[in-house]
Amino acid sequence: MIGSTKKGTALSILNETYTLANGAQVPRLGLGTWLMDDAEAKGAVAAAVAAGYRMVDTAQAYGNEAGVGEGVRACGVPRDQLFVGTKVAAELKDHDSVAASIDESLAKLGLDYVDQMIIHSPQPWAEVNQSDDRHEEGNLAAWGALEEAQAAGKVRVIGVSNFNEHDLANIMDHASVKPQVNQVLAHISNTPAELIDFCQAHDILVEAYSPIAHGMVLANPLVAEVATRYGVTPAQLCVRYCLQLGLLPLPKTSNPDHIANNAQVDFQISEEDMGLLRAAEHIKDYGDSSFFPVYGGKL
């Protein structure tokens, strides 16, 4: 069963880890880098590591693996103390292209291995929210390449992103290694409770991308009200909410002040307030980002 380990007291969340089913340890809070170019990603990694973060998340689709790698190599913290994750492009659904892409990611990052490699989506992005084809065979072929990379020491943790229960069962029922993580959209006003329960019942760690809803949840009156009650910012409340659900939040920002503030979450939301936040009205609008498939849009 996935458990957490505490390593210190100062800014304690940055000194805590989850232990995965395969024994690997993952920091309980990480940095997201979506929509950053190489230069911005490099600076964000430097700021995050300086603030105490030890996990950074990127993807082939982000186009910034080179910048993330530069930041990792230049940050001054030994490589084995950092947890670097990336994602296989959603469009790759065959063994050979996925295997080649893993080597390409390592080359772009300038690293001998990555700590985590996951399939970005069960469907190519152009099909998300438009097709019922879940690409079962293609995902199994991609998964086989990930299993081989893990066995070869190129990857420590393998998993998926945006997979639902059916997609996960397809892997678990037919592969020799089950997914260790599932990275999904999860935040106050969008909490996929059944999927989270399914993953946790199968010792799959849920990583929460956009835990602050791409900034749109910050204007939610309920979030503001509860945050005021604890003397924290709405963003800090959002991060803490995910942590108390047993998730690994990956807030995306390159602002050094926001990076530091997002980690200052050493407070406890009461069960009553967690209930209020879990029941928050479902978000209807992600603003200018609503066209992205992960937010319900269609390419």
User: Which residues are designated catalytic?
Assistant: 62
Residue 5 has pLDDT above 90, yes or no: no
Report the distance separating Cα 83 and Cα 137, nearest Å.
30
**What CATH architecture applies to the domain 3-295?**
Alpha-Beta Barrel (3.20)
Contacts of 126 (CB under 8 A, 6+ apart): 299
More confident of the two residues 264 and 9: 264
28 Cα distance to chain centroid: 11
Q: Say if strands 16-19 and 25-27 run parallel, antiparallel, or are unpaired.
A: antiparallel
Helix ranges (DSSP H) in 21-178: 38-51, 65-74, 95-109, 136-151, 165-174
Quick: pLDDT tens for 192-223: 999 999 999 999 999 999 999 999 999 899 99
Summarised one tens digit per residue, pLDDT across range 86-143 is: 999 999 999 999 999 999 999 999 999 999 999 999 999 999 999 999 999 999 999 9
CA distance linking residue 172 with residue 71, whole number of Å: 35
State the average pLDDT over residues 230-235.
98
First to last CA, the chain: 38
The pTM of this model reads: 0.96
Give the per-residue pLDDT at 1: 60
